Structure 1
Amino acid sequence: MSMEYTTLKQISRDKDNSKLKVRVLRMWDAINIANNHDLISLDMILVDKEGTLIHASIRKNLAQSFRPQLNEGSIYTITNFLVEENKGNYRPVHNQLKILFNSTTSVSKLNGFDHSIPQSKFEFADYGTIASRCYDNTYLTAIEEIKTRGRPTKMRNIQMLLEENKSIRTTLWGNTTQQIDDDFYKTNKGPFILIVTSTIVKSFRGEYQLSSTFATKLYVNLDIPEVAEIRNKYTTMNITVKDILPKELPKPQDEELGLHNKKTVAEIKNLEWNSNTKDLLVTCNAKIININNKYGWYYVACLICKTKVKQVKGALWCERCKNQPKFAVPSYRIQVQVQDETGSTTFILFDKGAERIISKTAKELAEMQEEIFKLDGNTIPKEIQKIIGNEYLFQLHLDEYNLKYGKENYTVSKILEIEISHEQNDSCKVEEHQDTMEEIVKKSRKDKYIASPKTEIGQTSVERPERIPLQMLQKRQKSAKQNPAKKKKN
């Protein structure tokens, strides 16, 4: 009498007599780049009739014996396998368990068609999910939709438009670049809906980007309901697939080198406002001598619009989006005191500039330094403290707030990092970092950090709800509901 099939939801570490009936959706080699591209394992995504996904792995010493027996898209019965807890990073699917083949594992291919097991299955991520996984390598990410493509090289960039009308760049590396067929776009009208699996999320100059891995697979206009829905949405739109051409780097202009409208600190403070000049860009060469942490070094921002979220009736609220944000993360707002030979003043740094000179995102630092909430309000992460004493060429965006009312909180729109040679003081290396004007205007002058905030009894200045990372805030709110504080007796 044959064994009944076990579903993937039914397997466990304690159950050793399971018999699976699954389809191999995707298969790839896990490679150790640091060790001469040595094979680590042969890996797969399996799916059963219930649509449950699981990651299966075959160690390199057994990979060659199993490889000829396995093909993507085919259905197999699998017995005598190990089940272990999935603790590692770069997980291609959401499943707390993982299947591991051993020398006694039996694999038998089932011939014929079986439509009860899905031929494809994905865990799609929206823009908010992508942003929340920035530099978090626990799970790999799958996204869909393509609008433009890059040239076929060892590295290929693809600019993609997500359903939220958010654009994101995906970088394909190595053999993954060959999965894009240029002729397909030349001979077909489109629109072209691209599914990209198993990517990692990074941030460059404040913009989220995706990068391929050895597990990445690309599917163009796959015949599934999710793709059909998006194709119908864009069929009536005139969308052209075009090359992302390499750009020639122009010779730096005076403005880019910070020589345009250059001012000393004293000159900036003495600038006079007139009705014809409401906004002004100037550059200033100054040294960071201190960090004012009175209002903290970050705020919690809506991932969609980057505006600071507020706490309203126990929930986070984005005034710009007029809703409760699905995701919110810490974003830099660092108030630094700078000085040159003429005096000192205050500059405000935001994400894009701050990330480049600190080399970590505000989200990373906030998560790394959860203990900061147990300390006093003057605590600044050591990664941020390292910028004290460094000299930079700042580009500043001045407006009525500065020019008309004389406020000295000057918004930094661009940072030109200067490394001065001790042997030749006039030789320097300049690297440009910038915040877009649109985001700066949203974050600076109407930001309530300018006013003295009200601190509730029992809270330190760094524990204000609007600056606590979303996950921590939700955890605290849940704990407060489960363990309500007892009223003190008089």
Structure 2
Amino acid sequence: MSESKLQSHPHRFTFQIFDTIDGDFCKEDVLVRLIHFWEARNFKKGNMLMGIELLLIDSKSNAVQAYIPANRLFRHEGRLKSNSVYTLNNFMIIPTKKVYKVTDHKHGIVFTEKTSMVLEPIGDHKIDEQKFRFRNYEDFASIVDTNADLFDVIGQVRLIVGDNIHSPSTLESAPQVEGSRSSDRVFLHLQLKDGQTIRIYLWGTIAALFRERWNESEVKPAVLLITIVNPKTVGPVMALSSTSSTRIFFDNDVTETKQYLTWLGDNGHKTPKIASSSSAVTKLETVTIQEILQFLQNENPQEASFYCFGTILDIQPQYGWYYISCSKCNNKLEKADTSMYCNYCKESNNIGVIRYRFEIRVCDKNKDVETFVVLDSEATKIAGRRAADV
């Protein structure tokens, strides 16, 4: 697109702000900074591009999520540039999203055929360059697996595991994809200010971008700020999963990481120990079945996570594919004469919840065979595949 089409109109002296906008359509000018934008794709329909999501902020630090449908991208995509300021008008106003929310504002924005987005000349627009929504461990745990809010997290790096983490960048070739999920992954731990340590998975392009910058850094960062992450249950614990809109900031990238780094320096001798309720592990490695059994037999009681790659020999559903569990404690409900009864809670008439559970026999690379119990989300996936095969 030519430079002439990107020229700003004469500067206006008054602008609306998102908090004062009402109704279904806004024809007035709003001065906004484009903080970030990313593709919205439908993975159930061949990774089809649905549109572009934008994170905008006005002069009063109100952040709003906007959306440009794919059929209207040609009008705007050539001029989208992060951290640039625009005058926006003639857009549709909708209620904020109920899932995958990246702002706290009551409004959302949708671009129409009449929407105008004009680049403003460089100047002192007095609009914040970033806006983050930090949460602690308990906040993330309260919304795990809901796909509701996608908050931000900041903390001290405690552990990083990933393929090629110290080798040249993998961005020279696109990440390999298995099905709808990229096989490119980085796993890390961040210790938060309250002492809790939280697990984080970076996937696909986000993992590759992180790996590239990590490998190029002469001084490895002590602090990471990771935006728009989705709390998910992974195995027995909660973890934060990157999304297509995730951004990652190192030590001196933004004010928030600089302040956290200063806090670490000022409180280095007072930094909280890892809390006992933390999901942290001190070691993550690939082991054989025999090594897992030895760990269980010989080590003192503790929590640890391992990777064990093996082949499923058979599924043993002799106890059924699922059971009806208590909604309070997840233990199996027993049948009474006219109701269900929980032996743990000592209550009857419980509202039951279906919980998947079955056993599988797995053979590892050393030909060792062992039986494992598969629960909840992973059991649901396997059960779903079995039903599809049938």
1:188 corresponds to: 219
Structure 1 residues 206 and 68 mapped into 2: Cα distance closer, same or farther (>3 Å)? same
2:207 aligned with 1:177: yes
Q: Which amino acid aligns with 2:348?
A: G
Larger radius of gyration: 1
DSSP 3-state at the match of 2:207: helix
Out of 87, 90, 100, the residue aligned to residue 100 of structure 2 is 90
**Displacement after TM superposition at 1:254 (Å):** 9.6
Partner of 2:65: 55
Q: By how many angstroms is 1:149 displaced?
A: 2.4
Structure 2's unaligned 5+ residue stretches are 1-10, 171-183, 272-281, 302-317, 336-341, 363-367, 376-390
Partner of 2:122: 112
SS in 1 for 2:208: helix
Deviation at 1:253, TM superposition (A): 6.3
Q: Residue 18 in 1 paired to residue 28 in 2?
A: yes
Give the counterpart letter for 1:208 in structure 2. M
Aligned to 2:290: 252
Range that drifts further, 196-205 or 245-254: 245-254
Tell me whether 37-46 or 196-205 shows the greater mean CA deviation: 196-205
1:292-307 map, 5 Å:
297=326
- The secondary structure found in structure 2 opposite 1:81 is strand
> Whole-Å Cα distance in 1 between the matches of residues 110 and 252 of structure 2?
30
Distance 2:295 2:131 in 1: 51
The correspondence of residues 112-191 of structure 1 with structure 2, limited to 5 A, is 112-114=122-124, 116-147=126-157, 148-151=159-162, 152=165, 154-180=184-210, 181-185=213-217, 187-188=218-219, 190-191=221-222
Counterpart code for 2:20: Q
CA positional deviation for 1:212: 1.0
Contact 1:145 1:161 in 2 (8 A): yes
User: Contact between 2:24 and 2:92, CA under 8 Å: does it hold in 1?
Assistant: no
Whole-Å separation in 1 of the counterparts to 2:258 and 2:156: 14
Q: Deviations over 1:21-75 (max 9, x none)?
A: 0100011111112222211111110001111100011000111331111200000
Q: CA deviation at 1:179?
A: 2.5
Residue 350 (structure 2) aligned to one of 370, 379, 385: 379
Superposed CA RMSD in Å reads 3.9
Answer whether contact 1:298 1:334 (CA < 8 A) is retained.
no
Q: How many angstroms apart in 1 are the aligned matches of 2:294 and 2:230?
A: 32
Shift of 1:349: 8.8
From the superposition, tell whether residues 167 and 53 of structure 1 become closer, same or farther in structure 2 (CA, over 3 Å): same
Q: 1:161 to 1:433 in 2, by over 3 A?
A: farther
Residues 195 and 430 (structure 1), Cα distance of their counterparts in 2 relative to 1, 3 Å cut: same
Is the CA contact (8 Å cut-off) linking 1:418 and 1:428 kept in structure 2? Answer: no
Aligned equivalents of 2:284 and 2:59: distance in 1? 46
- Name the SS for the 2:215 alignment partner: helix
Tell me, in whole angstroms, the C-alpha distance in 2 between the residues paired with 1:138 and 1:190: 30
Aligned to 1:409: none
Match of 1:206 among 236, 244, 268: 236
Query: Match of 2:88?
Result: 78
Counterparts of 1:330-369 in structure 2, within 5 Å, are 332=330
Q: Return closer, same or farther for 1:3/1:14 CA change in 2, 3 Å cut-off.
A: farther
Amino acid at match of 2:42: N
Q: Which structure has more strand as a fraction of its residues?
A: 2
Deviations 1:265-311 (A, max 9, x none): xxxxxxxxxxxxxx9xxxxxxx979xxx9xx9465xxxxxxxxxxxx
Aligned to 1:354: none
Map 1:339-488 → 2, pairs under 5 A: 377-384=348-355, 417=359, 430-432=371-373
In the alignment, what sits opposite 1:311? none
Aligned length: 299
TM-score by length of 2: 0.66
Q: Is the 8 A contact 1:48 1:117 kept in 2?
A: yes
User: Compared with structure 1, are the counterparts of its residues 257 and 210 closer, same or farther at alpha carbon in structure 2 (3 Å cutoff)?
Assistant: closer
Contact 2:326 2:353 in 1 (8 A): no
Question: Hey, what's the Cα distance between the residues in 2 that align with 1:18 and 1:86?
Answer: 20
Query: Counterpart of 1:40 in 2: which secondary structure?
Result: strand
Question: How far apart, in 2, do the equivalents of 1:41 and 1:254 lie?
Answer: 46
Tell me the SS of whatever aligns to 2:93.
strand
Residues 250 and 65 (structure 1 numbering): CA distance in 2 closer, same or farther, change over 3 Å?
same
Q: Which runs of 5+ in 1 are unaligned?
A: 261-278, 280-286, 300-330, 338-346, 351-375, 391-416, 421-426, 435-490
What is residue 248 of structure 2 aligned with on the other side?
218
Q: Percent identity?
A: 20
**Residue in 1 that maps onto 2:274:** none
Question: 1:469 aligns to what?
Answer: none
Q: Structure 1 counterpart of 2:371, which letter? A: V
Q: Is the CA contact (8 Å cut-off) linking 2:61 and 2:127 kept in structure 1?
A: yes
Query: For structure 1, which segment, 41-50 or 110-119, has the greater mean C-alpha deviation from structure 2 after superposition?
Result: 110-119
Aligned-partner Cα distance in 1 for 2:289–2:134: 42
Question: Which residue does 1:65 correspond to in 2?
Answer: 75
